[in-house]
Each structure stands twice: as C-alpha cells, then as structure tokens.
Amino acid sequence: MKTAKLTNPINGASVRVIATTDSCASSYGREVWVDADGTPYCEVDAPGLYEITEIEEED
C-alpha cells in the first residue's frame, strides 16, 4: 500500500491519503489518492496543484 501526505499550497490544508484503484475517480486502472473517508483528490501520477510529501510504500 502506498501512502502520502497531500498539501494544498493555496490554503495550506493537508490530508493523509492512500493510493487505490478502488474509487469512482479511478479510470482505466489508474491509481488515485483518497483519504480515510474515500474522498478522491487526484491521480497518483498527475497531482495537479497538490504537493505530495511523505510517500511511503508498505508491503
């Protein structure tokens, strides 16, 4: 499982997220970052405006 911290540079808000394809925002098997409630933020490979930090991969 891949986890990370997403930060919005405009307002400074940050959230812990996990990478998953089990989301309505995932298209064609591409991973998206989602929070603990399942809210999708962005694709793992296309973060848009979010800054991604503290990326960790667990087995």
Each residue's pLDDT tens digit, 3-47? 999 999 999 999 999 999 999 999 999 999 999 999 999 999 998
What pLDDT is stored for residue 58 in this prediction? 84
Q: Any idea what the Cα angle at residue 12 is, between residues 53 and 40, rounded to 5°? A: 65
Question: Into how many domains does the chain fold?
Answer: 1
Q: Any idea what the Cα angle at residue 31 is, between residues 48 and 51, rounded to 5°? A: 30
Cβ neighbour number for residue 54 with a 10 Å cutoff: 11
pLDDT reading at 59 higher than 80 = no
What pLDDT is stored for residue 21 in this prediction? 96
Q: Which domain holds residue 20?
A: 2-57
* Cβ neighbours of residue 22 closer than 8 Å, sequence gap 6 or more: none
What sign for the dihedral angle of Cα 12, 14, 4, 27?
A: negative
* pTM for this predicted structure: 0.87
